[in-house]
Amino acid sequence: MSAADPDCLFCKIVAGEIPGDTVRETDRVLAFRDVNPQAPTHVLVVPKAHHENAAASAAADPDGFAELFTVAAAVARDEGLPGHRAVFNTGAAVGQTVFHTHLHVIGGRDLAWPPG
Ligand code: AMP
């Protein structure tokens, strides 16, 4: 696993140094509720290993990256969602604010397409 970044918010949540509202956990992945939810269900699924974005995680640990999606599907099932959106923001230009890979799992209301 990559070393945790001492300045990374999500590394601190993974380490238990900052509380997170955890909904699922595996050896490689943590899923917790977004503190500023954009829908009735808004869960962040993160690899425990620190990488700054989805592409970096996929390159470094393909199996761990795939597990983000199986955990996202389990979260959606647990929440009883009839459908959900799974999104990675990559880069500040499209709104990434935390530079530790995280898959947004959003559902529980109608979602417009294309996204804003
Ligand atoms: P992004 O803008 O794609 O980088 O997403 C970062 C997400 O992290 C945002 O949706 C924030 O609301 C969320 N967030 C920030 N701080 C926390 C926290 N302490 N616990 C849970 N979610 C957080």
| 116 residues of the chain, pLDDT tens digit each | 577 999 999 999 999 999 999 999 999 999 999 999 999 999 999 999 999 999 999 999 999 999 999 999 999 999 999 999 999 999 999 999 999 999 999 999 999 999 98
CA–CA distance, 41 with 112 (Å, rounded to integer): 15
Look at the pTM and tell me if it is higher than 0.95: yes
Q: Is 97 in the pocket of ligand 1 (CB under 6 A)?
A: yes
Give the position, in ligand 1's atom list, of the atom nearest the Cα of 88.
3
- Per-residue confidence (pLDDT) for residue 1, from 0 to 100: 53
* Domain ranges (residues) in the chain: 9-107
- Per-residue confidence (pLDDT) for residue 116, from 0 to 100: 82
Strand runs labelled E in 2-112: 22-25, 29-33, 41-47, 85-87, 103-107
Q: Probe ligand 1: pick from 44, 57, 88, max atoms within 8 Å of CB?
A: 44
CATH superfamily of 9-107: HIT-like (3.30.428.10)
Q: Is 35 in the pocket of ligand 1 (CB under 6 A)?
A: yes
